[in-house]
Chain A
Amino acid sequence: MNRRDFIKSVATVGTISALGLGLEQFIPTALGDEKMASPTPYDHDALPVELRIDPKTGKVDLNPDIALKNSVCLGCWSNCGNRVKVDKKTGKILRVLGNPYHPSNAEPHLPYNTPLTDSLKSLGQYQDLGITQRATVCQRGNSAYQIVYDPNRILTPLKRAGKRGEGKWKPITWEQAIQETVEGGQLFKELGEEQVIEGLRQVRDLNTPLNPEEPGWGPKANQFVFIGGRDDGRTEFANRFVTKSFGSPNFYGHGGTCGGSRRIAFLSFLDTWDKKPHMKADYMGSELVMFFGNAPGQAGAPFQPMARKSALAQADNGMKAILVDPVLQNGMYTSPESSESSWVPILPGSDGALAMAMARWAFEQKKINEAFLSAPNKEAATKRKNPSWTNATYLVIQETGHPDFGKFLRAEQIGLGLPVAPAATTPANGTPAPAPTPNYVVIDKVSGKPTLYNQSEEATLYYSGKLSVGGSDVLVKTSLQLFLEEANRYTFDQYAEATGLSKNKIFALAKEFFQHGTKAATDHHGGVAMHANGFYSSLAVIMLNALVGNINRKGGSTKSGGGYVAIDKGKRYDLLSFPGMAKPQGFKISREGRRYEDTPEFKKKKAAGQNPYPATLPWSPIADSLVGNVIPSMMAGYPYNAKILMMWMTNPFYSTPGLFQKDVENYVKEPKNIPLIISVDVLMGDSSMYADYIIPDTTFYESWGVPTVWNLILTKVNGARRPVVQPLTGKTKDGQPMSFEAYCIEVGKRLNLPGIGEKGIPNAQGEPTPLNTREDFFLKALANVAFDETPVANISADELKLTGLNQDLNYTASSLTPEEWQKVYYVLARGGRFEDYDKRYDGDVLHNKFPKILAIYNEKLGTTRHSFSGEYLPGTACWQPPALADGRTVDEVYPNSQWPFHIISYKPRYRTGSYLSNVPLLQDMAKTNAIEINLADAEKLGIQDGHSVKLITPTGEAIGTAKVRRGVRQGTIAVEYGFGHWAAGAKSYSIGSKNVPADSTLGQGVLVNLISLRDPSLKSPHPLTDLVGGSTDRNTTKARLVKL
């Protein structure tokens, strides 16, 4: 009995005797004492405060029991900064705050040289700094730390102890996991599986062709297929291991299921295929942003800055947000006085039609920015104060059958006199001289004659005519002419029908958009891109920015500040290349990145005199990361099948629309098909449950990473993620926490792979330095960051003391030189390196600009053939409805008369993709999703909120709960993604004799991916895919809805 209980019992007796008197003075003193103990200003259950700030003087007093560590979130793939509040005694995370230095957390973010103690004031009342310097993390950033402490985390390696997917596991040692996955053998003999499995050693063969009859497909090493997540600041480590050390081209991020076609459309517009830039609108400077899907505050990348900037822009700067989306998502503020909504409930998959219609209107109404588009080169643009320029006026060969069809006309082809090119100088450091710019031709506005692009000040925008090329008349058109013709291909009535919007609505939107000039911009992501026509729709939406000429302008389109040199060839270390680096050969299993015309199949057919079209399965030459194609290719054995599948930070069976049906599950479950599946995961995920081996990994609070921010941030960003808590995973023999990196490094050492071990990383002088631990890699990347451009300051003694970084990290002291450490500490203390806020703009243009020409017409695109029809792809934006590989549209195959609804999915607000479903705090926000339908549709079908309803699609059925909304397009069904798990806590499994029971709350809801469309025109099971941009279609599924 403690004191309080004692007092209570005394009190009870006391009161009974004082019963009825009700007078306090008669109460025994002990009781009075208890009364005095209140009021309780401190909530006993609240967290201890991290510090105290004097509201008058701003003096900061730290709570000595608590550490604040700046790091980087990965609650979603946005990589915002964070400031983690850690209990020093228990080493546990108490709470997560935002990092005020990081531009994703704060608007504006703190100047980089702000002393750390001053940065703490952003938590307090003093001078309202807690408001003006507020640094936030979102709902997921606040709570994602709970995955660290998930009771079912995988902390040691597991080996399958039953059939694949059966849920029987046994714990094995780290050494056994390495030994068996590397050396292979009869690994599952004890289960009666006699099959001899090839391990990483046998598969890592860079010489023997995987298919001796068609060696062109590449060596055996290609049969090691790796699927990873997207860029989280660790991915480059994985990429380096798979492609450069191991030598397999089959490294995948999740691009193809993420925003694939959008990215590829940007690559096409920016004509930059190596660095993969893409653009977003600069909300803060904008007057109007038209969001095609991608509502800020709903999802979006980066989620948090999008949400904040659009909110601030709307409230403080009067930016108007228009949301083109079948679902009325969050993120738009409409004043109660306003009589009109700026929501545009578009028919899914028809954004291309809307954008092309708006373009057509602008051409007709002469609202396009001709002054911008007619500048044929940078100098001419600069003279007109335009910070960017396009190839709108360049001539393209359009003569059917001409060998150069689709290519830009070159000056030499029409005998134009060329200026003398300066001698190609090879700079001392060995980087090759830049390739000479082709000699494009324009029709000069003044002379009206074909002129070299850089000899004209202003060129003709619209031209279609014949020029004499090599003696014959050849049809040429300007890029913009081609775009115009595409825009004019359909009438406004046709566009209206395609989009489900009225003509007047389209005109009104176009008028509104174009009247803001360069201060209007578009923004889009998965909504537009994740359709079978995603590429051209994306490109059309992007093209609206070109028509107003907003690129590189304040309030226009920005490629973002990007990052400093990190996992790259930097001032301190070369993390890009190393001696003995492998160069992947042959073709990727996903049928991407190379033309069908280069494949052994094409060549063979051609040689045999057959019509080489269509290919066995389609190819996507300009796309990448077609993760959705990987398993279907394996199943078809085309172009080849795989020996080892490794997954890390991904859940492709769950996250790929149209993939995981019975046939695929059966395929995956049969070890003969993919002999070895290794998954690196933190929990028993929906995909990992089918693995043979599971390697434990560190969560993002236990990992390193050097991520930049995807987009939208105008200044340079490099986050510095570091383990803020001791990893909970087991330790390897040499004391490393078990993790993905530790696994790769050990495998690499065992196989003697290049780029790993004592001589793993060359420094800037080319001398070898070690890559023995994960710290070796990431700290070296951070050294590059710290020394890039003007190196950062050394950390001060005070700040070092305040952060305790040298104590925290002393185990890894040898990774860097003392000189490097002083700067890396400075970076770590601030959670990264960040360019100052005032570097956003130079006057009315962006400080960090996209430096190259913009492609109204893209030559690479326009000279690529469709691998089924053999026809050239349009080289400019155009309207194409979602279609199958054989060209039939989805609506033809699944007509509205039978399939009256479209299902689209959108991102979960309280989850990230398939991830975070087991975070209790987020479970508390949403345990399940709903089948959302419009009020009118619901009334027609007699459906009310909460009714059980069934979705029927051409590929399957799903049962869920109805949610009746005003803000869903009529005829559309919206289902939030991220629910309907079959594992990740929702299914029981056993490890040795320990049973891990299922938690029935975790698997609730509907996953539309299980019933998303497949492409029935293909011979083997295959998701519906955008063959140009590579997106796996997730938003075109046709459906029926029945009330149960």
Chain B
Amino acid sequence: MTEKKRRWAMVIDLRKCVGCNACTVSCKIENNVPEGVYRTWVKEIEKGDYPQVTRFRLPRLCNHCDNAPCLAACPVQATYRTEDGAILIDYDHCIGCKYCMAACPYDARFINPVRKTAEKCTFCYHRVEEGLLPACVTTCVGGARVFGNINDPESLVAKLVANNPVQVLKPEMNTQPYVFYIGADQNIMGARYDNLEKGEQ
């Protein structure tokens, strides 16, 4: 059988995420992300009725979806998919229409206030292409983030996905994300609507 095409994927083992945000900070440095916007961030949630409260962390980034609504939305093909599945943005051609942002179900995108284009996690493609790993993976203190070629059965990502129950965000959207979580609480991974307007009344 011929080697399957390379497909980048990330697994985030929430059992190991300590919520340090080293990922967030390193991503900003590596990718020169301006103040106030984030390619990756760590959502933190408290759940339960006192004193049975638990604290839950959810690192977030672009899912590099196989069925990416952002890709479909982009009217000028500035959003594109690489051979190995990464969804990237061509900053020289993005017109900043923001439809991709409206279309992405994951809040993964933002407008770079300096460059004035859409932006999001690139899976650190500039590093990955050189045989390196994404900045956030290299600096993940708890060792939660694992990156690799999911089509290579020998890779750690492939093994993690094969050997653990994994979750993705909003599977009902059928976006086929390539960021997989281990140990996630399906009930509280997405948005929360029951108290939308707290603090407003």
Contacts and interface: CB of A to CB of B under 8 A. Distances in A.
Touch A–B, Cβ below 8 Å: yes
B171 to A, nearest CB: 16
A137 interface: yes
Contacts of B115: 45
20 contacts: A39-B90, A47-B30, A55-B131, A95-B26, A98-B138, A128-B148, A131-B143, A131-B156, A136-B22, A136-B138, A137-B139, A138-B20, A308-B141, A328-B46, A334-B56, A345-B51, A925-B21, A945-B198, A966-B46, A966-B53
A547 interface: no
A44 interface: yes
A944 interface: yes
A332 B141 CA distance: 14
A349 to B, nearest CB: 18
Interface of B: 13-22, 24-26, 28-32, 35-36, 44, 46-57, 78, 80, 82, 88, 90-93, 115, 122, 124-133, 135, 137-144, 146-149, 155-156, 183-187, 198-199
A130 B133 contact: yes
Given A43-B31, A124-B131, A142-B26, A311 B21 contact: no
B96 to A, nearest CB: 15
B20 A47 contact: no
Given A945-B198, A970-B50, 8 more contacts: A40-B91, A124-B133, A128-B156, A137-B139, A311-B17, A311-B144, A334-B56, A343-B51
Given A54-B131, A131-B148, A328-B53, A139 B143 contact: no
Across the A-B interface, the 6 shortest Cβ-Cβ residue pairs = A297-B18, A336-B185, A311-B142, A53-B131, A315-B15, A334-B54
Contacts of B15: 311, 314-315, 333, 335
B29 A142 contact: yes
Contact of A123 (B56, B132, B143, B183): B132
Contacts of B141: 136, 138, 297, 304, 307-308, 311
A344 B24 CA distance: 30
A922 B25 contact: yes
Q: In this complex, which of B82, B138, B155, B183 has the most chain A Cβ atoms within 10 angstroms of its Cβ?
A: B138
B29 A307 contact: no
Contacts, number: 234
A1029 B51 CA distance: 32
Nearest to A4: B92
A769 B89 CA distance: 61
A42 interface: yes
A909 B48 CA distance: 24
Given A39-B90, A43-B31, A944-B199, A139 B21 contact: yes
A208 interface: no
Interface of A: 34-35, 37-47, 49, 51-55, 95, 97-98, 107, 123-126, 128, 130-132, 134-139, 141-143, 296-297, 304, 307-308, 310-312, 314-315, 328-336, 338-341, 343-345, 909-910, 920-922, 924-925, 934-936, 944-946, 965-967, 969-970
A49 B138 CA distance: 13
B52 A336 contact: no
B12 to A, nearest CB: 12
Contact of A95 (B30, B48, B78, B132): B30
Contacts of A34: 92
Given A125-B132, A131-B137, A935-B50, A944 B198 contact: yes
A636 B122 CA distance: 62
Contacts of A935: 50
A612 B68 CA distance: 81
Nearest to B167: A336
A711 B122 CA distance: 38
Contacts of B186: 336
A935 B144 CA distance: 31
B89 to A, nearest CB: 9
Contacts of B91: 40, 43-44
A310 B53 CA distance: 20
A308 B15 CA distance: 11
A345 B48 CA distance: 14
Contacts of A924: 28, 35-36
Given A341-B54, A909-B21, A311 B133 contact: no
Given A312-B16, A343-B54, A970-B50, A297 B132 contact: no
Contacts of A969: 51
B143 A308 contact: yes
Given A49-B130, A297-B19, A925 B25 contact: yes
A330 B138 CA distance: 21
B92 A97 contact: no
A279 B10 CA distance: 37
A949 B49 CA distance: 24
A38 B92 contact: yes
A969 B129 CA distance: 49
Contacts of B140: 134, 136
B88 A137 contact: no
A922 to B, nearest CB: 7
B141 to A, nearest CB: 5
A136 B24 contact: no
Given A924-B36, A935-B50, A965-B46, A47 B22 contact: no
A97 B137 CA distance: 11
A107 B52 CA distance: 32
A483 to B, nearest CB: 30
A946 B199 contact: yes
A331 B17 CA distance: 8
A124 B140 CA distance: 14
Contacts of A332: 54-55
B191 to A, nearest CB: 17
A891 B28 CA distance: 47
A314 B24 CA distance: 23
Contacts of B156: 128, 131-132
A297 B46 contact: no
A27 to B, nearest CB: 13
Nearest to B79: A39
Contact of A97 (B19, B50, B139): B139
A340 B22 contact: no
A321 to B, nearest CB: 11
Nearest to B11: A131
A922 B131 CA distance: 29
A967 B46 contact: yes
A646 B122 CA distance: 50
A142 B125 contact: no
Given A138-B141, A308-B18, A332-B55, A143 B25 contact: yes
B92 A43 contact: no
Nearest to B140: A136
B16 A315 contact: yes
Contacts of B22: 136-139, 141-142
Given A138-B22, A311-B16, A328-B53, A41 B125 contact: yes
Contacts of B36: 924
Contacts of A336: 183-187
Nearest to A128: B156
Given A47-B30, A47-B32, A336-B185, A97 B138 contact: yes
Contact of A134 (B31, B44, B127, B138): B138
A1037 to B, nearest CB: 22
B33 to A, nearest CB: 8
Contacts of B139: 97-98, 136-137, 142
Given A45-B115, A330-B55, A126 B148 contact: no
A125 B88 contact: no
Contact of B155 (A54, A128, A335): A128
B122 to A, nearest CB: 6
Contacts of A910: 21
Nearest to B21: A139
Nearest to B142: A311
B148 A37 contact: no
Nearest to B14: A333
B39 to A, nearest CB: 10
A677 to B, nearest CB: 35
A961 to B, nearest CB: 11
